[in-house]
Each structure stands twice: as C-alpha cells, then as structure tokens.
Amino acid sequence: MIPTLPHPALHASHGGVWIATAEETRAVSRGEAIRIAADTPVILLNAPLIGQRLGHPELNGLDLLELFAFLRPARFMVPTPKGLARVAGLEAPGEDSEIAAFLRRAAEALLAIPAGDWPEREGAWNSVQSLFRLRWPWAPVVSQVVAKPVEHERWLFSKLPEWEERAPRPSPRTVTLNDADVAERLAALTGQGAERRQGQRDYAAAAAGAFAPRDMRDSPNLVLAEAGTGIGKTLGYLAPASLWARQAEGAVWISTFTKALQRQLAHESVRLFPDETTRKQRIVTRKGRENYACLLNLEDALQGGFAGRAAILAQLVARWAAYTADGDMIGGDLPGWLPTLFRRNGSTALTDRRGECIYAGCPHYRKCFIERAARASAEADIVIANHALVMVNAARGREAANRPTRYVFDEGHHLFDAADAMFSAALTGQEAIEIRRWVTGPESGARGRRRGLAARLADLASYDEEGGRAIGEAVEAAHQLPGDGWLQRLSEGDPFGPVERLLGAVRGLVYARDTNGSGDAGYGLETELAEPDPALVEAAGPAAVALDALMRPLVTLGRRLEAVLAEAPDWMDGPARARIEGAIASLGWRTDTVGAWLALIARIGGPADPEYVDWLAVDRVEGREYDVGLHRHWLDPSKPFAKTVLESAHGALVTSATLRAGGDWDVAEARTGASHLQRAAQRFEAASPFDYAGQAEVLIVTDVKRGDLPALANAYARLIVAAEGGTLGLFTAIRRLRAVHARIADRLAREGLPLLAQHVDPIDTGTLVDIFRDDPRTSLIGTDALRDGVDVPGHSLRLVVMEGVPWPKPTVLHSARRLAGAKEQGGTAFDDRIVRARLAQAFGRLIRRADDRGTFVLLSAASPSRLLDAFPPGTPVARVTLDEAVRRVRLSLEARLRHEAPAPVVPGDA
C-alpha cells in the first residue's frame, strides 16, 4: 500500500514560489517558503537549485531526484518537471504554478514502483535500512513500500561479475581494404532506403587510407580529413574501421575530446552490432581511471569513512554500482545531477583520482570496473576512448602489449589542446601536496583508506632490504614537500620547508610584476620566468636539493621492484605480480613528474629552452587564491604527441568539421603533429551539404556598446524573447555571464521562458545541455565548454548569441606561441586564425540537420570583416541594429514554424 504523503511540496522558479498541500496550492514569498522548509520536510525537485532560487543554498528536503536515484539506479532522467512526468507516467504540468501540486502526484507515482515489476529490487531493502540509520529524509516513507526479502539478498560486492584473464591477443593481420567492400559496409550501416550521399562515400574511401599496411617505420598512414557538418563522418569512418577490425582481427581506437561525442558514438554502435550481447563484447568505451568508481573507496565509505550527507551519497552510489553497465561515474549511466545534489560532497573520493590503486592487493581487484574495461578493450573491435586517455596510455600506460596500431581521432581540432595539457609540467602547491600524500599516506588524523608507499609495499620491504631502505628514504624526503595549510603559511609569509619557500618566492615575484591591476581585481596572475629576482634564485637551490632527495629513492625503488619481478620469489603469485607491475607504473609516473620539476627549477636563473614556455602563476577564483607555482608547456605540443602516439601507430585518421582551425592545410598539419612525421599526410576535404544561404543567417549588431552591461543584458533578453527561447548564449567571461543572468532571468520567466546558466545554476554542464535539448522554450547561457560541446539538433536550438569577438586571452603561453607563429604568418594572423576557429565552432552548434533553421548573432559592432570567412560559404551576413536583429529573429521563427506546420487537409485529396 502506497503511504499517504502528509508533506507539502515546494517549487521555486524565477517567476515565483509555490507551496502545495493536499488541500491547496498557493503562492508564497521566499521568506515564508524558507520558514516552511525549515519547520517541516518538503517535497521538491533538485534541492540545490531550489535553494539557490530562494537565496537559501543549504535547503534540504524530500528531493525527488534522490528518490529516483534509489528506485531506478543507472537510469537517466532529465531533472525537470517534464522529465519527471515522463518517467512517472504522468502528464507534465503546463504552468509554473501547477508544478508544486504535480510534485506530490509524482512522489506517489514513484513510490508505487516497488509494488510492480521492479528490476532493481535486489539490494533495496538492505540499502533502506542503512539509509534509515543515516537519517535519509525519504527512508521512513520508502521503508513502508520496500518489503523485506524472504531469502538472503546478494549485496553489491558479491553481485558484481568477475573478469577473467585471457591469453594476449595476437597482433593484427596485414590486410588491404577493398574500395567496393568499404562502400558496401557503409551502405549496410546507413541502412536500406537511406539517401545515398556521395560526400559520405568519398569520405569513407579517404578514411580507409588510414587502414592500409604501413610501409615505413615510425611513419603511420596519416589521413587528415575535414568534413563539414552533415557529411556523416561517424558512419563514414566506422565503415572502414569495423571492416578492418573484422578482417585484421585487431582493435581500432576511436578517440574523442568531449563526453557528448563518446555517448553519441556508443549510440551509433547499435548499427554495427544490433545484438546487445555481441555489442558489449565487440565495442568498449574507455576513459581515464579517475572516471570510474573505485570499489575499495566505496567500501570504505559504506563502512563509516563518510559521514552526514556524503554517507547518503555513498549508499545511493552503491545502489547504482550494483546495476551500472561499466562503473563510469563521469558521463556514464550515473546521472550527472546526482553528485551535485550533495554539493559534490564525497563524490570525487569514490574514484581513484590520486593514483593510489593497489591493483591485485585490493580485495575487489577481480571485480574492478577499471580492470574489467581494460581487459574488455583488449578483445574488442572498437574502443571508444578520449584524447587524454590515448596519450596517457601511450606515454605511461600499463597496456603496452595491447597498444593499438590504428586510431581515429574525431574532434581532431582539439588534439593540440589535449596534447598541451598532457605533456605539460607544473610545480605547484596542489601538485606537490598530492605527491607527498601518495608517498607518506595519511597525516594529522586524516580519515579514509589512503595508504602510503610503506603500507602498499610492506611485503617488498620485508623481502628486499634495499627496496625497504628506498621506501624509508622516499617517505623522509616527501616530508619536505608542502603539507596541510601550505597556502595560509605562504600568505602569512611563514613557509615551511624548501619547496614552500620556493613557492613563496614565486608568489612574491608574481604580485610584484602585476602590470594591469589584476591583483586588485581578483583575477589570476602570471608572469614570465625571466629575469628572476634574488629571492627566487636563492630559493631554487634548496628546493632542487629537496626534490632530488625524493627522486633518487623513487628511482631506486622502481629498479628494485623490477629486480623482484625478474627473480620471481616463491611468494609471488599472479596477483602479487600484477600489484608490483602496477606499483612500477605508478612510480614511473611520479618519477617523471619530479624529474620535470627539477628541469623546471634548473631554468630559474639559467638559459631558456626554445622548446618550452615557462612562467610563474598565482591561480585565483573571485579573489581567493587556490594554487601557486611554476609552469612549463611545450611551445609546440604536437611534437611530443607525434613522437609518443603517432610514430608507434600504423595508421591514423584525424578528422573534424573545423580541422584547419581557421587557417589552411599547413595549420592542420602543424596542429595535429603531421609536420613532425617523415611521411606526408593524405588530405581530404568535403564541404557541408547544408543550404546555409537558406537555413541560416549571421547578424552583427552594431549598437550595443562594448562594456555596457545593461545594454548587453537587454540585447540578450530581447533576442531570447523574439526567438521564444531555444537560444544558446555564449560569453567570454564568467563575470559578465553572471551579471547578465541576474538581470534577465526574472524578466524571461515572466514571458514563460526558462533560462539556464553555466557557472550559476548548481547543475553539471552535461545535464544543463540535456535540459536545454528537452525543452524548446528553454535557453542556456555559458562559456567555452558550450561553444564546441553541444549537439542539439532540431527546434530546441534556433538562435546562437555571442557577446563579442572571442579573442584569445593574452597569456604568457599565448604570447609566446603568437610570436612563434608570427614568424610564419605575420602580424595578427595567429590571433585571427584562433578567432575564426572559435566562430566556426560556435556557428556549428546552429545547423546540425538538413531541416534545421536558425540565426547567429554577434553583439560586436567592431567585428573585423576579415574574420567573417569563418562562416560557411553562402551564409548571409548583415550588420544591423538591435531592433532589426530582433525583427529578423522573430521572422526566422515564424518562417520555421510555417515550414514545420502540417499541410492543411483538402477535401477530396484522399
């Protein structure tokens, strides 16, 4: 029997606040709503969001999202009333004033789930008992509808399947793909009756060149393919990739930059293998270790390692872990909104973010999500990965025996940025304290299962005297690194230890050389590592000695572990070997990191290395310092990418709709590493098949003054109203985004047009896009992450507005690369290319299908005409006033609605 809920329901939007009881629904003030929520538990949807709208961020209650996460673990729901109505089988409310009463009905519908056919029943009763003890607000109600099982239930750690060791996969066979076979495979993937697109056929034929046999060492068959939106790139490269995988019996790694494309690829894979069981075997999605739930961390959290709300989150994650497809907590089947309900309190501690995995020493090793994914990918035909993981695996991965020989790099225009992040070095307080914790283990009574080197390698210390001595020396040296409270000591001028003193000197010099008032404004600060002052030079020596004292025992320990592996003592069984191999890999990573720090310190007072760009920085957010340190990036990160990844490959396809990044093919080759290979890359280009002249329009608004926030906010509001929502607004600064949101959110709400905002709403970016996609009247504003990571085809996105020309920030790194690029391109060409690429990527959000129509608005009177070739050829571009832009947006919407309206039925036409 479903219990009658005595609790009121609360809903707050920018349009008002409502309370619903069994008797009535009434509008209330924010103050009254907060008082009611404090006096009695209230039913609500997304407590952090409602709390923010009420001005009471700590609001808690009976959150329907938490209830759904418990009842339907590993299932997705758009966290809106409309999305809730869909999963509850109810009619969605039409007005904001109806939502509070609807929430009560939705709660009753969800609580009826256990009475029916409930696939997620197993483990629920035990979970409710634990949640009851943790005072989960829903526990008293849920315990009434979840019956105690008659027989003993399998709990999470006994339920999860174990992976099995298999013999190494043989090397791929040498095959040559037949053009006719590739075309036939493409036809099979697109399906019978599909429109034959010559551009897609040509693209597939060009992509097949990456799968030809390699005939020169360290020189892969590299294909650079720029194909406009609508060509059908995904199926275009899946055709030769899947054909080669089947004929050669090898794996193709498809690498993306965004999680959105990873999800899209997983969806498209249904065409390759319609049978679900076969698909799971042949196609595997891989991500970095930090994305997956760590079962040992989860067990620790469930056994008292977490407290308060974090402990409730751990119980809900445990429910999910028992039903998840792959254990991916970031972008997988764990709803992205779940950690945000708990203010991300504890979610990161449930993954292996610190690289402290003990591998075979873990009691859950044979059920580990990470290890299962690694072994599954070794047997797969297609591995869907990301640029960062590909580079990490190539540089320091444990899977050298299964290193892929064929790659497809989709979103290839991001390879340069991904390599820039991967092959950089940073000696900062945050990075140093993580190394210290990894070596020493818990300090000052810290909770959790974190263990240092001595605990992780205790058996080695007892077996190998030299290895044990190296562990002791490493632990002693690590205590010279920054520890808890380091940032406060720096701000007080009282650093502890040689590395903290170095960071203190860095901080002092950065502030001293602030030239534009950023120090007073609260922004992050940086300065070149040039002409260091005496304090920095003096601090560099002792810091280098301290880091060298740490690096030497780490190197020795790595050698001793390798020697123990070679000796293979009696106690070394399979799990012990795996654990030591894992420790060797982790040690190699840390040793490389400390080695890079030493090279960076050697630069202080020494000659500059033309291969690198070095600088000092104080990182701040809204005036609050959170890190200080020295940074080193490659001037051209495509060089280590080519050396580490491409040279070992036999073939690679690099593809994107904007591969040339606003430049020419020389730019594409320079940014993808092709220019560093002996063999020339093949080039392919296919223009988008869309009719941009008829489907889109670019408007440059000439009468919104730069820096006038009220005028900027007014422009956004008027344009969104004219489009009746469906707007993606892009900003180059978070402060302006927040200021505009504060001015227009209530105004739009009165028009019945919801507004979502990245960096404002307590919702992760992926979920924001899901909500935006689901409601054609909703608009979304955000920054760079939305410029190139949003795929919203159809009526939900019909207007893109940019606040201004997206010029690159004049950072030390950018200035160095601009100077290097100017030698070849001259003047402002380097900056212009970046702006063209960003404009093209932003415009690319607008037209995703042949039936899409929309308008792109740039609120910048000073937009240079030379940049307008960033838009597809044929796209109309006009400089207009704001009034005219609003009129044209309104006309575009009316034309779209007429185009989509069904034709009237004429009598006699049957």
Q: How confident is the model at residue 773 (pLDDT cuts 50, 70, 90)?
A: very high
Q: How confident is the model at residue 405 (pLDDT cuts 50, 70, 90)?
A: very high
Sorted by sequence, the CB contacts under 8 Å of residue 808 that are 6+ apart come out as 814, 831, 834, 835
C-alpha–C-alpha distance, residues 204 and 780, integer Å:
35
Q: Count Cβ atoms below 10 Å from residue 516 Cβ, excluding itself.
A: 10
Q: How confident is the model at residue 330 (pLDDT cuts 50, 70, 90)?
A: confident
Q: Residue 825's pLDDT is what? A: 55
pLDDT (tens digit, 9 = 90+) per residue, 828-860?
888 999 999 999 999 988 988 888 899 999 999
148 three-class SS: coil
Q: Which two tokens stand for residue 760?
A: 């404002």
Q: Residue 580's pLDDT is what? A: 79
Q: Residue 623's pLDDT is what? A: 79
* Backbone CA torsion sign across 626, 628, 629, 633: positive
Q: What Rg, from alpha-carbon coordinates, does the chain have? A: 29
Q: Residue 518's pLDDT is what? A: 58
385 three-class SS: strand
C-alpha–C-alpha distance, residues 26 and 47, integer Å:
20
Helix (H) or strand (E) holding 85: helix 81-88
Q: Residue 477's pLDDT is what? A: 96
Q: Residue 86's pLDDT is what? A: 96
pLDDT (tens digit, 9 = 90+) per residue, 553-562?
999 999 988 8
Strand order from edge to edge, sheet including 799-802: 755-757, 779-782, 727-730, 799-802, 854-858, 696-701, 877-880
C-alpha–C-alpha distance, residues 283 and 271, integer Å:
12
C-alpha–C-alpha distance, residues 882 and 861, integer Å:
11
Helix (H) or strand (E) holding 430: helix 429-440
Q: Residue 790's pLDDT is what? A: 78
Q: Which two tokens stand for residue 187?
A: 């036809």
Distances (CA, A) of 192 to 189, 196, 410, 463, 685: 9, 10, 26, 66, 27
Amino acid identity at 793? P
C-alpha–C-alpha distance, residues 312 and 334, integer Å:
15
pLDDT (tens digit, 9 = 90+) per residue, 658-695?
898 778 899 999 999 999 999 999 999 999 999 999 99
Which of the two residues, 443 and 211, has the higher pLDDT score?
211
Nearest by Cα to 700 from 846, 835, 857, 855: 857
Q: Residue 178's pLDDT is what? A: 94
C-alpha–C-alpha distance, residues 686 and 227, integer Å:
5
Which of the two residues, 133 and 395, has the higher pLDDT score?
133
pLDDT (tens digit, 9 = 90+) per residue, 277-310?
899 889 999 988 889 999 999 998 998 888 889 9
Q: Residue 904's pLDDT is what? A: 47
Q: Count Cβ atoms below 10 Å from residue 233 Cβ, excluding itself.
A: 25
SS (H, E, C) 234-259: HHHHHHHHHHHHHHHCCCEEEEECCH
Q: Residue 380's pLDDT is what? A: 93
334 three-class SS: coil
Residues 553-570 as b or e (16 or more Cβ within 10 Å = b): bbbbbbebbeebeeeeee
Sorted by sequence, the CB contacts under 8 Å of residue 194 that are 6+ apart come out as 187
C-alpha–C-alpha distance, residues 838 and 328, integer Å:
30
For residue 515, is pLDDT > 90? no
Q: Residue 354's pLDDT is what? A: 67
Percent of the chain with pLDDT over 70: 94
Residues 453-490 as b or e (16 or more Cβ within 10 Å = b): bbebbebbbebbeebbebbebbbebbebbbbeebbebb
User: First-to-last CA distance in the chain?
Assistant: 52
For residue 760, is pLDDT > 50? yes
E-strand ranges in 292-393 read 382-386
Beta bridge partners of 62: 43
Q: Count Cβ atoms below 10 Å from residue 222 Cβ, excluding itself.
A: 25
The residue length of the chain stands at 910
Q: Which two tokens stand for residue 540?
A: 């560099």
Q: Residue 909's pLDDT is what? A: 37
Distances (CA, A) of 609 to 603, 632, 644, 675, 811: 8, 10, 20, 21, 19
For residue 332, is pLDDT > 80? yes
C-alpha–C-alpha distance, residues 838 and 830, integer Å:
13
Question: What is the overall mean pLDDT for the chain?
Answer: 89
E-strand ranges in 140-277 read 221-227, 252-256
Distances (CA, A) of 329 to 27, 287, 377, 701: 38, 10, 18, 42
Q: How confident is the model at residue 907 (pLDDT cuts 50, 70, 90)?
A: very low
Percent of the chain with pLDDT over 90: 65
Nearest by Cα to 792 from 824, 820, 823, 756: 756
C-alpha–C-alpha distance, residues 450 and 444, integer Å:
13
Q: Residue 908's pLDDT is what? A: 41
**542-556, 623-637, 810-824: least confidently modelled range:** 810-824
Amino acid identity at 647? E
Do 504 and 510 touch, CB atoms closer than 8 A? no
